Amino acid sequence: MIESCETEALQEADLVDDKRHKGNELGALAGVPVTVKINVDQRGYATTNGLQLQKDLVAKIDNPVVNNLRKAGAIIIGRTNTPAFSLRWFTRNTIHGHTKNPLNPLVTPGGSSGGAAAAVAAGIGAIGHGTDIAGSIRYPAYACGIHGLRPSLGRVAAHNFSGPDRFIGAQLMAVSGPLARTIEDLELGIEVMANHDHRDPWSVDMPLKGKPYLKRVAFCDSPEGIKVDPRIQKALRSAIKNWSRLVGK
């Protein structure tokens, strides 16, 4: 975490406690500590995106994804690091420094949501906000031994009001999503983030879950043209057998 939101977080926590004591309805993430990546607008904080050039770009309005977290009662405890432009496989920049992997400081935490993944893996917040174009949620989650979800375009509304919109390619590829230590927390995170907001022109107003249907899984332990270590094949086959027993197939 490269910036603490302690004062604001304590105030928001007091509001949640007050609502609870009064018996008021609480959001799905009431009192849950979360973190927000520094490439999205959070009111009162600079949207640096890892750039010295944007160190004074202080947001006046919350990005819709941040707004959805707040509406659910989440307590934003801090901002997490990203490489410059959020376009690297590591998490290091000249303004906020180098984020290390809490599991092993000699190994990368991944990028570009390496700050979010490292924080969650270290127990700093239950859910981390991340963004993903080409693996920026998924790779850090893998590197830090947690879970990450890259939703489809339009599922999670997101827009920065602090500056000009991104070029069209980034708009069509970049999405916000959650990182968490458990699948249950990950599911809760996406349920909260995936609320429609008309301020994002790509936001789609539709249910998060559809009707249940029969699911099938394809498995291949020897992709064409790729030699697979027999130990890996054995481990994969064992995992498939265990999974089949669990689902009763």
List, by residue number, the catalytic residues.
37, 112, 136
Distance CA 14, CA 69 (A): 17
Pair 164, 210: CB distance under 8 Å = no
Q: State the burial class of residue 36 (Cβ atoms within 10 Å of its Cβ: 0-12, 13-18, 19+).
A: buried
Of 40, 5, 69, 19, which Cα lies nearest the Cα of 158? 40
Length of the chain: 249
Whole-number Cα distances in Å, 110 to 17, 86, 151: 36, 11, 19
Burial of 196 (0-12, 13-18, 19+ CB in 10 A): middle
Residue 79 near residue 72 (C-beta atoms within 8 A): no
